[in-house]
Chains A and B, each alone.
Chain A
């Protein structure tokens, strides 16, 4: 059974600071990794994907992957109140869809 672990939070970060969200996964064969943002009462929205070790930047978001440590993270720079949401880490390792973590609840304090 693949597992994806996230700290449930809440993680509270001041506006303008860097928010750091972390995720570990159990399946060493996993190849594709995704970050989703989910606002309360809404469905998950894909914000980042990463497939290779290292960093991938997209605007204020940076995804980091370390396959040796089975660790993936998401950094949000210049955090805004609109970034307050639950962030889901998802991993795919085979033919049976994505395995999601339970999410980290992020609160950006104005």
Chain B
């Protein structure tokens, strides 16, 4: 079974803090993704990565950065957290070329106060 884990299920941070969300997959998948999910807006892609040290902007990259130093780990960084970044953050991975199905981690519910 594919397993995608995320570092925290719930996180509360203050405005202006630097926040790290970590994601690890154990299936040697090539591709990793970060989404946020908000009521009424659905899932929105923040960043994705097709290889170690590679990153591509998704639909809403502003205010976020990512890091992929190892194949199994993909980190999302909020450089200076703001209240409008309160959301559910979901990490996903997919096998790679020709196999696009994505598998999600359990999610991190982040609250910025």
Contact = CB atoms under 8 A, between A and B. Distances in A.
Contacts of A97: 33, 45, 48, 58, 102
Interface in A73-88: 88
Contacts of B42: 88, 100-103
Interface of A: 32, 34, 42-46, 49, 88, 90, 92, 95-98, 100-103
A43 B90 contact: yes
Contact of A46 (B48, B56, B58, B102): B102
Contacts of A32: 100-101
Contacts of A46: 101-103
A103 B41 CA distance: 10
Contact of B101 (A34, A88, A102): A34
Nearest to A31: B100
Given A88-B43, A103-B42, A98 B90 contact: no
A32 B102 CA distance: 12
A42 B33 CA distance: 17
Interface of B: 33, 40-43, 45, 48, 50, 56, 58, 90, 100-107
Given A49-B101, A96-B48, A97-B48, A43 B106 contact: yes
Contacts of B43: 44, 88, 100
Contacts of B48: 96-97
30 contacts: A32-B100, A34-B100, A34-B101, A34-B102, A42-B106, A42-B107, A43-B105, A43-B106, A43-B107, A44-B43, A44-B90, A45-B104, A46-B102, A46-B103, A88-B42, A88-B43, A92-B100, A95-B50, A95-B56, A96-B48, A96-B56, A96-B58, A97-B33, A97-B45, A97-B58, A98-B33, A98-B45, A98-B102, A101-B42, A103-B42
Given A46-B101, A88-B42, 8 more contacts: A34-B100, A44-B43, A44-B90, A46-B103, A96-B45, A98-B102, A100-B43, A102-B41
